[in-house]
Structure 1
Amino acid sequence: MIFKFFFIFFLIILVIKISESVDSTVNVHLIKSRTELAYSFKESLSFKTISFDDESNKIDYDEFLKFHNFLQNKFPIIHRVLKRTVINKYSLLFEWTGSDKTLKPLLLNSHYDVVPVTESEWTFNPWGEIRNDNIYGRGSIDNKVIVMATMESIEAILANNYTQPIRTIYLCFGHDEELGGLNGHRMIARHFRENLVRAEAIFDEGCPFLASNFVPGFHDIIAGVGVFEKGYLFYKLTSKVNSFTHSAIPPKESAIGILSKALAKIESNPFAPIENIEKKNQLLQLFNGETIKSNPFLDAMTKTTTALSMIHAGTKPNIIPTTASAWVSHRIINGNSIEYVKSRILDLINDTRITMEIEGFLEPSPISSPFTTAYQILKQTIYQQFGGYNVKVVPTQLMANTDTRHYWDITDNIYRFMPIVGNFMDFVSIHGSNEKISIDDYIKTIHFYKKLILNFQPFSNSSNSNYINKNLKINDYCPNSIYSK
């Protein structure tokens, strides 16, 4: 009880300190009209910065360099004031040098590469079209929206004569996140290590905020901030038999049959939910057990998941293949490990005629605390931006993977979010067809990053050292959280 009292007392002091360090007197206006901002963003989507993951399609890096030139033309003040470094030919790093070198920098991370499109599945131009107050195009959510919104916000801040922050800020734009970031953010992180840079916090892409009734019956907006990510394990299973291959004389057991039995065992024996996972993932505390079990999105947050994703066998109807292969994907929850998942699957299969070939793996990420100053300022900014709505800000788990995997040793404080309210169809459009953002939501995203940057720190050349409304409160302390122990 005494520890809990002092812990709550510490949180109250932290909130007071944050409120004292910010004020509502700073008023930074955007320097472009609504129409200019919309059409500039549409133009950014016209560059086909596609990351292909198959060898049959060659990546057109000229498009990436054209996007660099586009940014240089659209944001002249940034390119004059900030230091730009090109990392590994195509990734970009902008350094906004602060006046206090003793403070650890803030990293605003994103990526500008996109996944391929099947144009026949799109109703609108996948490379940028404005229709019915929406901006359509690949990357409008994932992830040019953060690149452009952060650039527009900083260009506006600079134009309003806030030219030097106290704390250094880096904009880190990777060019191959959709391929794992090995040549992009991994190299940016290496650059930081070589220069002995240790960050105060990293803000990167995450899940869009869940709109009202995204989970049926829950009417508040859920602003989930990813404080950790699932890991993954991808592998190929192959069965082989030595038998006559003509279909007129079939064997008692075929390669396809053997593999099918193994896949049936895997699919019919899902991983069990992790006990007390809601203490790590506070989003789950908003719902009862029945709601979680009945909702695929929520249920996937409780356990390691299994997906049978590809299968290959045979070449002709009358020839029995001697080999059959299938690919399986697991998203590994914090509390399980790669070795545990691998061992459990092999025990389930229990057949020496089947081999497993690992093709990709990543352990679950470390968990970042939601009680740091950086998280609390982010939380305040969300309340400030979405103050007209009922919104729940909760630390949660990201089920996908981001480039933050390359920064685990750069900072303990990594927060993943997308300051856009999305419904189910918005989620489906990411990596799907007709990806879009409304013009209003895009402009709100620019305002969000403007507020976040100003809220995070004062500016050395400004008499207004404060920004957040002092009436905003941090009131989501959860006594059942793992972080309160």
Structure 2
Amino acid sequence: MEHVQNWKSCGISHGNDALASSCQQVDALYPSKHASFWSELGDIIGTDDFKTKAISWLSGAVQIPTESFDSMDDIGVDPRWEAFGPFHDYLLKSYPLTHASLSLKKVNTWGLLYEWTGSDSTLKPIVLAAHQDVVPVDPNTVDDWIHPPYSGYFDGELIWGRGSSDDKSGLIGIMSTIETLLEKDFKPSRTVILAFGFDEEASGVYGAAALGKAMLEIYGENAFAFLIDEGGGFTDQYGTIFATPGIAEKGYIDVKVDVASPGGHSSIPPPHTSIGILSALLVEFEEHPYVPKLSKEDVLYSTLQCYTAHGTNVPKRLRRAMEHSAHSDWALRALEKILFKEAFFKSLVETTQAVDLIHGGVKSNALPEQAYAVVNHRISTLSSVAETQDHDIATVRKLAHKFNLTFAAFGESITEAGAPSKGSLTLSDAFGTALEPAPRTPLYGDEAVPWRLLSGTIKSTYNAHRSITGNDNIAVSPGMSTGNTDTKFYWNLTPHIFRYNHKNSGYGPNRLSGVHTVNENVNIDAFLEMIRFFTTLILNADEYDL
């Protein structure tokens, strides 16, 4: 086995000298032991015959609706789960070598856990993850689609349909890679695990939750060299192409704000009904949002270090603020002011809140005895569930006193129990799904070998697909999205979790389009590049120490 240490600190890309050391770039990493085999596979991926096969694989998968919905009943009770049966049949038919050579365990009926057993049991396996389900298509929008949402139509450039990008391109890309490697008689040294959930779009509580538990029982804690799941891709930022694998995720909590007060006939109303009180509370929430403050510990700060170090067209004001922020709090605040003009950057840093659900009343002439709302929070990576709960308690405490409400929050009494009141206010975890921010993937030192292997693989894939050479065609930066993935159930399997799809996510004709909305599609060339990426990743992981 070659050692990653031979290349891990080589090839630092040229960039701003003051910042380059904080965003070091490795050289493109190509398979060494498997060099000729990798080259042969690359030639195959570039053929028209393989392109035709890849179109058929992905188009066929898109044609099978696998929608997941919020608040589905248990498996075996809710018939909508049965939609995954035809998809499993499709995978079995489309990838015969994969199903003949890999073991398959079905977890919680519809979860798929494949094992491609390697020849060297001393090597930690890798996990390639994706999800089978797709966001439902709103029936009212079907006529807005250029091509029917489950047609899998190929127009010569794009494959159209729900799931073509999110996330059947990832799942089918993985399966197509395995099948192609098997067609060429490849036998891995390092075991490869495939984990495919089936309700990621509905929080993963049946799919990835069960898969995570199963992998923990079978393989043990911290058993894997790394795990890669869906996530950000690559895009043009400040004149340079940057790939931004996700190395962290925000936390999450839905807070139920529940007001109860005496009912009665609406012809004799009190000054404030439950609905009126709830309305005042929600206004208080929106008038007192969390105050974001950029920290040098934020993932966004690390991303900006890379943008500034390796971007060729960074605005002078941003570059100057970034350079000085390393040793000046004033410059850090100036940087914050620049960034927070964009809602997306601001949302990456702050704990957000959004009033998403509300309910109250049953009849126009009856006083509502109860009214409630649900406030969704995405918790800053530098905060916690407890801090979020404390903030919400402080936000509404004065109003609870004003309206003379007994106040309880998250299982504890805030006001004196048994004191006279005109009703009650209760804050609670609405669905029992509170989640702490994810542990951060190591990026520096000896612990960061998987990160460097991934970075080098991204660069070599990008180069090979465009028949170019060099180490500066694409830069790799730590990144983060605003949402959560199935990886929230995989934290104890490995500290090396990457959320990354090797796809163009923001520039030129091959960029992603229509995710979670009408006209979802994927460019066939982008899909072929994904297959090339998974091929290179498996071969690199097979021959380097991790």
Q: State the TM-score, normalizing by the size of structure 2.
A: 0.75
Q: Which residue of 2 aligns with 1:357?
A: 428
- Following TM superposition, by how much is the alpha carbon of 1:20 offset from its aligned partner in structure 2, in angstroms? 8.5
1:409 to 479, 483, 492: 492
1:398 partner amino acid: S
Q: Which residue of 2 aligns with 1:160?
A: 184
C-alpha distance 17-236 of structure 1, shift in aligned 2 (>3 A): closer
Q: Secondary structure at the match of 1:252?
A: coil
2:290 partner amino acid: F
**1:290-305 alignment to 2 at 5 Å?**
290-305=337-352
8 A Cα contact 2:10 2:26, kept in partner:
yes
Residues 254-282 of structure 1: CA distance to partner in whole angstroms, max 9, x if unpaired?
22221122112211222222552555442
1:378 to 447, 454, 460: 454
Is 1:36–2:53 an aligned residue pair? yes
1:440 partner amino acid: D
- Following TM superposition, by how much is the alpha carbon of 1:179 offset from its aligned partner in structure 2, in angstroms? 3.1
**1:165-180 alignment to 2 at 5 Å?**
165-180=188-203
**1:233-272 alignment to 2 at 5 Å?**
233-242=253-262, 244-246=264-266, 248-272=267-291
8 A Cα contact 1:52 1:59, kept in partner:
no
Residues 364-414 of structure 1: CA distance to partner in whole angstroms, max 9, x if unpaired?
111111242221121112222334695331112232112212221111111
8 A Cα contact 1:50 1:59, kept in partner:
no
The farther-off stretch of 301-310 and 277-286 is 277-286
1:405 partner amino acid: K
The structure with the largest alpha-carbon Rg is 2
Q: For the residues of structure 2 that align with 1:376 and 1:118, how far apart are their CA atoms? A: 41
Is 1:146–2:146 an aligned residue pair? no
C-alpha distance 322-418 of structure 1, shift in aligned 2 (>3 A): same
C-alpha distance 33-23 of structure 1, shift in aligned 2 (>3 A): closer
Residues 150-207 of structure 1: CA distance to partner in whole angstroms, max 9, x if unpaired?
1111211221232x11111111111222333333223333333323341111011113
2:291 partner amino acid: A
Q: For the residues of structure 1 that align with 2:503 and 2:166, how far apart are their CA atoms? A: 11
C-alpha distance 426-138 of structure 1, shift in aligned 2 (>3 A): farther
- Following TM superposition, by how much is the alpha carbon of 1:317 offset from its aligned partner in structure 2, in angstroms? 4.7
2:124 partner amino acid: K
Structure 1 stretches of 5 or more lacking a match?
1-6, 459-464, 467-485
Q: Which residue of 2 aligns with 1:66?
A: 86
Q: Which residue of 1 aligns with 2:71?
A: 54
Q: For the residues of structure 2 that align with 1:20 and 1:243, how far apart are their CA atoms? A: 72
C-alpha distance 235-36 of structure 1, shift in aligned 2 (>3 A): same
Q: Which residue of 1 aligns with 2:359?
A: 312
- Following TM superposition, by how much is the alpha carbon of 1:52 offset from its aligned partner in structure 2, in angstroms? 2.1
8 A Cα contact 2:127 2:195, kept in partner:
yes
Q: For the residues of structure 2 that align with 1:128 and 1:404, how far apart are their CA atoms? A: 30
8 A Cα contact 1:107 1:203, kept in partner:
yes
Residues 286-314 of structure 1: CA distance to partner in whole angstroms, max 9, x if unpaired?
36434421111111111111111111223
C-alpha distance 421-22 of structure 1, shift in aligned 2 (>3 A): farther
Q: For the residues of structure 1 that align with 2:123 and 2:72, how far apart are their CA atoms? A: 44
Q: Which residue of 1 aligns with 2:246?
A: 226
Q: Which residue of 2 aligns with 1:108?
A: 128
The farther-off stretch of 435-444 and 361-370 is 435-444
Q: For the residues of structure 2 that align with 1:195 and 1:58, how far apart are their CA atoms? A: 28
C-alpha distance 229-375 of structure 1, shift in aligned 2 (>3 A): same
- Following TM superposition, by how much is the alpha carbon of 1:319 offset from its aligned partner in structure 2, in angstroms? 4.6
Q: For the residues of structure 1 that align with 2:192 and 2:61, how far apart are their CA atoms? A: 23
- Following TM superposition, by how much is the alpha carbon of 1:60 offset from its aligned partner in structure 2, in angstroms? 3.0
Q: For the residues of structure 1 that align with 2:361 and 2:34, how far apart are their CA atoms? A: 68
8 A Cα contact 1:83 1:95, kept in partner:
yes
Is 1:449–2:534 an aligned residue pair? yes
C-alpha distance 428-363 of structure 1, shift in aligned 2 (>3 A): farther
Q: CA RMSD in A?
A: 3.1
Structure 2 stretches of 5 or more lacking a match?
12-24, 308-317, 319-334, 401-406, 408-423, 467-471
Q: Which residue of 1 aligns with 2:9?
A: 11
Moved segments of 4+, more than 4 Å: 12-24, 316-320, 424-428
